[in-house]
Structure 1
Amino acid sequence: MSAEPLNLSREKKRAFRAGKFPEDIITKDMIREVTCTIDCAPGTPNYKEFKVTEGMLFTKVPDNLTPSLEFCDMLLKINGKAVTTKKQMHEEIYKLAKSNKSHYLAFTVKRIISCERLELSNTPSNASVRKPASKENTVKPNTGYNYFKIVLIYFPKSKLGINIKSYADSVYVAATDNAWGSTTRRLLFPCDTILKIDETLVTLYIERPVGTAAILFSHSVISYERKSLDPLIPGDVVQKFAEQLAYYEKNGFQDPPPIFRGYTKDYSSSGRVKMTNTVENKKIRSDDINPAILKPVPPQMSLKK
């Protein structure tokens, strides 16, 4: 799934870089203060690998620090000391790395991205637990799920980082991108169902399968590949095949004309190829069968007693 960044004016983009989030998009209850404590080896990290905007939003950090740091975290403190400029940040990191001793780096940041568990009573109306049970294999089970509310913001120059599939009025997460700059990394997992997105495009309500039946059903949806199945052959083509087969049954199979212009050796009496008059009629078509649903049913799911 691809998406364009929020349609922000130049003024709002500058405000983002300066750490001044537009209140009409990001309210105060969406911003949380988080402290990430990281155990660092002697001589690390390299302060040159840290990049921030003028508002102290991280745009690049060393690979071994992510997680815990995330794209566009706003740096507030390092080891309890307030940091307000890029130079000050580099100096604090350099002092610790220069000591050539094992040390801890505690980054205190403001983070907009968050994930919280929802009670069943607070789930959206299209959640599976609110639907009646069904014994049909094509209907999603109504038990075996956890629900989450995810708050995030699509920062300028970030990416959404998910691929989706739709089935039976539901949107499933088929794949995720956990690279730096991906807004949804480590928040959405394959087989998650996106139930609802609020009007400001920053709050998602997620249905995550945890039960055996729910996992198998969701896995079947995202693993189903229609392109890998043989296409249904049109009726007129099947009819043409039937007419040609009837012609061969009546007149026999004739050797095709040779494609070589020169002399070719006659293999008709060599006995290497045997012809038979037995003809077996085959029904030419394909059925939409998903191989993933042909897995053995676990004993606890079997309807047999």
Structure 2
Amino acid sequence: MSAEQLNLSRERRRAFRAGKFPEDLITKDMIKEIVHQIECPPGTPNYKEFKVTEGMLLTNVPKNMSPPIEYCDHLVKINDVEITSKKIMQVTIYRLAKANKEHTLKFTVRRVICMEKIIEDRNIPPNASIRKKYDKNGKPNSGYYYYKIVLVYFPRSKLGINVKSYGNVVYVESTDNSWGSTTRRFLYLGDAILKIDDTEVSNLFHVQTALRNGLQQRGVVTMIVERACEQGANNYVRSVLNFQKNADPQIPQDAILTCKERLEYLNKNGFGPEPKSIYRGERKYDPDARISLEFKLGEKKPTPKNVIAKKIPAEHLNPTSMIDCPSYLKEPKKD
């Protein structure tokens, strides 16, 4: 799920690029104005490295400016110059870099900060650990904080998480901290996802379905997560993250292509004559031949009629390996 991209509706995509979010989900108190001051060497930054949407949401910045600047921050001012268009932004940055001396860029941005700690127990979902009975062999039922997170799926962003299921609980296994990740500011490793919108989740299928449906329809989902904060809970979550199921080894791509080419050749030209057996044939018992014993289920010893002697044509390469061990080597010497 880390790099998966979802298809928003055209209307929703245009609204998000213009910085217009659903007011019932993204309230005004969630949008905070933040000021970042960044020291810049002479001749930097390059104004061409800044890209914005029509609503002045930053979609690309120089690598040394992320963080503190995050994906789709709404650019308001640069050094107290109000930015209302892409041209004004480029001219402002160009003039500062052209001075060819050290300077400070002060970015004023508006950012959607939608992470709230849950204080009241009645807002904690029933599948939370603190609502379960104590089990000495199971997950601790104390030592957790609970957070309500609102995820906004900006256009061309990525979800940025990988999850795993253990004991009917879905944990965040890894996060993508690169530019454009939706969840890198909100989710930590080991966070347990309890609820997405109005759906309580207990396995990977529930999480994938709820996230995909919510983000594609509205572009915004509300998530409740459980985060360990005490030693016992942390130890349990760490053991869950370290637990790995046996995965099938991945076959190299060149090996797959070679097998496909060989299969096409065999289908076209045929598989040729039947392979010749390595055995010379069945015959009566021969002490110098390698034998295999076949007997019915329940019989303690094979009967002579069920003994089949088989010789292998390649025995001339190492004949001693086909000879039965002499009896005097099998029996221990007597004093």
Q: 3-state DSSP class of the match of 2:320? A: coil
Give the Cα–Cα distance (whole angstroms) in 1 for the partners of residues 118 and 309 of structure 2. Answer: 72
The offset of 1:75, in angstroms, is 0.6
Instruction: Please list every run of 5 or more consecutive structure 1 residues that lacks an aligned counterpart in the other structure.
Output: 230-242, 278-305
TM-score (norm 1): 0.71
Look up the match of 2:320: 267
Q: Which moved more, 1:113-122 or 1:45-54?
A: 113-122
What is residue 189 of structure 1 aligned with on the other side? 188
Q: Secondary structure at the match of 1:202?
A: strand
Worse-superposed segment, 146-155 or 24-33 = 24-33
Q: Which amino acid aligns with 1:217?
A: Y
Q: Structure 1 residue 30: deviation in Å? A: 3.0
Any residues of structure 2 matched to 1:247-258 within 5 Å, and which?
250=301, 257-258=311-312
Structure 2 unaligned spans of 5+:
199-213, 215-219, 249-293
- Cα 1:227–1:256 change in 2 (3 A) is farther
Counterpart amino acid of 1:264? L
What code does the residue aligned with 1:220 have? Answer: S
CA contact (8 A) 2:130 2:142 kept: yes
**Shift in Å at residue 264 of structure 1?**
2.3
* Partner residue in 2 for 1:288: none
SS of structure 2 residue aligned to 1:267: helix
TM-score, normalised relative to structure 2: 0.66
Q: Structure 1 residues 255 and 265 mapped into 2: Cα distance closer, same or farther (>3 Å)?
A: farther
1:11 CA drift (Å)? 2.8
* CA shift for structure 1 position 109: 1.4
Percent identical residues: 51
Structure 1 residue 162: deviation in Å? 0.8
Matches within 5 A, 1:229-244: none
Secondary structure at the aligned position of 1:171 is classed as strand
Q: Shift of residue 49 of structure 1? A: 0.6
**What is the number of residues matched between the two proteins?**
257
| Matched residue type, 1:208 | R
Aligned: 1:180 with 2:233: no
Contact 2:5 2:156 in 1 (8 A): no
Shift of 1:107: 1.4
* Structure 2 CA distance for partners of 1:12 and 1:120, relative to 1, 3 Å: closer
| CA deviations over 1:166-196 (Å, ceiling 9, x no partner) | 2233211111111211100132122111122
2:240 aligned partner: 221
Letter in 1 for 2:139: K
Distance 1:143 1:78, change over 3 A: same
Structure 1 counterpart SS, 2:241: helix
Displacement of 1:213: 2.0
Distance change (3 Å), C-alpha of 1:168 and 1:119: same
Q: What residue is the counterpart of 1:298 in the other structure?
A: none
1:43: how far off?
Answer: 2.5
